[in-house]
Chains A and B, each alone.
Chain A
Amino acid sequence: MLRVRDVTVRFGGIVALDGVSLDLNRGEILGLIGPNGAGKTTLFNCISGVIAPDKGTIFFEGHSLVYAPPHVRARFGIARTFQNLQLWGSMTVAENLVVPMDALGRRNTFSDALHLPFSSYAERASMERARAILHVLDLDRYAGTLAGDLPAGIQRRVEIARALAMRPRLLLLDEPAAGLDAQETARLAELLHAVRERFHVSMLLVDHDMSLVMRVCDYVYVLDFGKLLARGQPAAIRTDPKVIAAYLGEESKKLEGEVATVVPTRPQHAPLLEVKQLAAGYGGLEVIRDVSLEVRPGEVVACIGANGAGKTTTLRAISGMIHPRRGRVMFGGRDVTGTSAERIAQLGLIHIPEGRGLFPNLSVEDTLRLVSNTAGHDVNITPAFELFPKLRQRRRQLVGTLSGGEQQMVALGRAILSEPRLVMIDEMSQGLAPTVVRQLFDIIRVFREQGIAVLLVEQFVESALDVADRAYVFEHGSIRLSGPAVELRADRKLVAGSYLGTAVDATAVAAANGNGHHVDPALMEIVSVRVPAKVKRALEQRAEVEGRPTGAVAIELLEKVDHQ
């Protein structure tokens, strides 16, 4: 049905996609996954018509899609949803569905404005169909509500409903689980299955959220660095060592002894940073909820987890770049919740954002001298050059012309000059070569020796766990696991679970191993949230027959699956 052949896309000198081919058959739900920067969004954009490939062909039922404008693709029967919710907010939900139906029919602006019978009749027919679709998706009660007033989870469903209003044969779903919590994601998975059965539509799904992809898709393509890394059934992909390596980074070959040298946590100190039940978000989306964490003086703490799990948002809420909605942030014994970003920086909490937050048109030296501005007195910039001798040679060069690694050095150098007590670094290694990343991680160790606490958000999980004392694993906007880095490192499977959506099995097995058949209520909650209603009911029935708690049955079953 959809045939993608040898598609290559270049952005400047970077090859975003390198000869990727893909086939989607009628009635299939195809998943497209890959770590950050793997090129899945680029491929999705090629298929949905946002960018044209430099090389290669894309055919949909015999029509070439390479040069078809968006509204023509719509006529071919391709519909899509958007990651960042593109509903028409000032129209009601029903109207949102009527627009694509009308746009694809033959209509006339003037007869519409005059409400001629021809237009009114078509109008009523469209409205009827809109209501029918809303009924199937269980959205009837929102038909008259303005789409912009709905919560994000419902808006996602309406986007799917609107796409279905086009009577598509292929539905492209761009990160439909972004910003949804575990329960909403589970409901979305059910919805997608229902949609396939009721509307006979094939789907291509791009998502970071593996729990959704694994549950919904028939077949999965994995991209890495613009190339096809693997393809196969979800179960096979989930255990594919190549895929796990792509997500978590290569398993480091370090000796156990070296790992043990990591300074153990220092509980005797009062926490330097204490975050309690923090919630924050953007617009209608609540990205993090109930996040509690702490960093003690001189400690290195890593935040890991899949994309969109809320790590960056947590840092931004701590440093005052966005306003927390609930919860408290304590820094050095002071309540700094909602304090302005520059005030927090003056207290000694430095945030190096994703993309480093540098000024491309300032020289290295000027950038470092700017610290005097925050500190309020002249700052000697030589310590930064001692830490990064390379920067001394480049002191007159404009920051924008430096390589990514050098830029990160400038950012770290600037941070250390302001004599911080805590540095938060967001995606330090993003877009950098492995050797450069290793150097930067060594610098983190220097920070710790100087007694500076570090809170890291990192996608290279292995490297992050090597350097960190403790770590928090984020999933769906809250903290799923936490503990000493050494332990998390040892339980690779547990961490992989939060990336590949196997957290249930892993946690369940861990609990079962530890406590025999004792049922942890928290575990039961996870199980009940993540299992489709049908399965849950089956579990409950069986539990009743056997006279055992539901959780125990669930764990037994999961264990069995794990052994097979």
Chain B
Amino acid sequence: MTSRLIFRVLIALVAFTVLARIPVGFDVGFKFDAGLAVIWAFALLSLVLLTGYVGQISLCQATFAGVGAYAAGMMSATFHVDYIVAVAVGVAAAFALGVIVGLPALRLHGITLAIVTLGIALVFDRYVFQDHAFEWLTGGTGGWRVGQASMFGLQMDSSKHLMGAYVVLLALFCLVALLLVNLHDSGAGRRFRAIRDSELAAATMGVNLTRYKLLAFGMSAAIAGMGGAFYPLVAGSVSPQPFWLFTSLQFAAIAVLMGVRYVPAAALGGAFMAFVPDVLTRYGHGTLFGRQYEISYDWFQIAVGVLLIVQLITLPDGVWGDLRHRVLNARSAAGALRGRKVEVA
């Protein structure tokens, strides 16, 4: 058990050092993409917990991220607190909203729960994030501009110090991801998975459904909110557009595409969501057979849809999940060929 823990910590450390180095030397656009990738990865990670572990459906993860972003933006722009305090407030706000959204989940399942969370996303998208009544939170139509921000006393505003924010964000992501992997095999993780596999059996075997479902929604929202809280820092400002309803749907689609039960799939999905559209718009134009062509952002949406269909047929456990199975199978097959003792389930 402990050796597995050490192995996981090492993997997380290696991933952190490698990923932290990669954007160095690229232009600001890619650095921004890198930051965005981790923010989206946080949102996908929140679905790994909520959908992958606990089996609950949510179509309002972007709303949780948005609440985190606006709360952090407000703390930073209005109260000029250290940015890590702003992040903490953003996480707390998202957690509270998550617990509230979790209340209907105590009674609802499947499609009805999806519709309710969709409604919440719609309400926040159209009403809260864009209404005058909530200007204290959203900073009006212009949103919050985070010009001067520091974390742990270090200067961290967007354009010049993007790398600093990225490194802190990445470190937090690795930490949370490590916690989630650990959670999966722990007692609490088993209780979560028990709820996913059979709610009825879980309740009869002494699992307090109310407590664990609300906890799952709260924790999931907090994780999405943590990523969102860094958005104002990375982007320099915060507006409703990145946190609208469609982003929530995209989170759900990409989480399933990459493998909703696996933590590394969240990182993969985040990178996919941030880089692919940008690469498409940067390099997706030119001439082919003498004709001008241009690939717009819409193509990304279509690609996601097509990939999702292909994936559900060929890789039902998600890109990461199925590749993982294949590698593990190949390894045990290779072990068998070499005459080693192989654990066969």
Contacts and interface: CB of A to CB of B under 8 A. Distances in A.
B205 A89 contact: no
B223 to A, nearest CB: 12
Contact of B191 (A70, A74, A75, A102): A102
B345 A71 contact: no
A120 B1 contact: yes
Contacts of A113: 179-180, 182-183, 186, 188-189
A109 B205 contact: no
Q: Is the interface of A mostly helix, strand, loop or mixed?
A: helix
Contacts of B208: 71, 103
Interface string B187-228: 111110110111011111111110000010000000000000
Contact of A74 (B189, B205, B343): B205
A296 B343 CA distance: 54
Contact of A126 (B187, B189, B203): B187
A109 B222 CA distance: 15
A99 B209 contact: no
B342 interface: no
Interface residues of B, number: 31
A78 B199 CA distance: 17
Nearest to A144: B345
B154 interface: no
Which of A113, A123, A144, A145 counts the most chain B CB atoms within 10 A?
A: A113
Interface in A63-117: 69-71, 73-75, 79-80, 82, 86-91, 95, 98-100, 102-104, 107-109, 112-115
A469 to B, nearest CB: 45
Nearest to B55: A90
A48 interface: yes
Given A48-B204, A112-B186, A114-B179, A71 B197 contact: no
A71 B183 contact: no
Given A82-B200, A86-B198, A149-B345, A103 B182 contact: no
Contacts, number: 107
B150 to A, nearest CB: 29
B5 interface: yes
A86 B200 contact: yes
Contact of A80 (B188, B198, B204): B204
A122 interface: yes
Contact of B187 (A82, A91, A107, A146): A107
B187 A123 contact: yes
Nearest to B199: A86
A71 B203 contact: yes
Nearest to A90: B197
A104 B208 CA distance: 9
A112 B345 contact: no
Nearest to B5: A115
A211 interface: no
A343 to B, nearest CB: 27
Interface in B232-255: none
B203 A69 contact: yes
B262 to A, nearest CB: 13
A238 interface: no
Contacts of B343: 144
Which of A88, A89, A120, A126 counts the most chain B CB atoms within 10 A?
A: A88
A109 B215 contact: yes
A99 B190 contact: yes
Which of B197, B201, B343 counts the most chain A CB atoms within 10 A?
A: B201
B176 to A, nearest CB: 10
A95 B2 CA distance: 18
A209 to B, nearest CB: 22
B183 A112 contact: yes
Contacts of B204: 48-49, 70-71, 73-74, 79-80
Contacts of B194: 88, 91, 99, 103
A392 B198 CA distance: 49
A162 interface: yes
B222 to A, nearest CB: 12
A402 B165 CA distance: 70
A162 B205 contact: yes
A166 interface: yes
Given A91-B197, A112-B183, A79 B205 contact: yes
A122 B190 CA distance: 14
B49 to A, nearest CB: 10
A146 to B, nearest CB: 7
B186 A119 contact: yes
A89 B203 CA distance: 16
B36 to A, nearest CB: 27
Contacts of B203: 69-71
A179 B197 CA distance: 21
A120 B198 CA distance: 25
A99 B186 contact: no
Given A90-B193, A146-B345, A112 B205 contact: no
Contacts of A87: 197-198, 201
Which of B179, B183, B197, B205 counts the most chain A CB atoms within 10 A?
A: B205
A45 B10 CA distance: 50
Contacts of A104: 206
Contacts of A69: 203
Nearest to A162: B205
Which of B191, B193, B204 counts the most chain A CB atoms within 10 A?
A: B204
Contact of B345 (A48, A95, A107, A145): A145
A115 B200 contact: no
Contact of B189 (A86, A103, A112, A122): A112
Interface string B2-18: 10010000000000000
Which of A95, A122, A146 counts the most chain B CB atoms within 10 A?
A: A95
B193 A103 contact: no
Contacts of A146: 345
Contacts of B197: 87-91
13 contacts: A71-B208, A74-B204, A74-B205, A74-B206, A82-B200, A90-B193, A91-B193, A103-B191, A104-B206, A113-B188, A113-B189, A123-B187, A144-B345
Q: List 3 A-B pairs, minimum CB-CB distance, nearest first.
A: A74-B206, A88-B197, A112-B186
Given A102-B190, A113-B188, 5 more contacts: A70-B204, A99-B207, A112-B187, A113-B186, A115-B186
Interface of B: 1-2, 5, 179-180, 182-183, 186-191, 193-194, 196-198, 200-209, 215, 343, 345
Interface of A: 48-49, 69-71, 73-75, 79-80, 82, 86-91, 95, 98-100, 102-104, 107-109, 112-115, 119-120, 122-123, 126, 144-146, 149, 162-163, 166
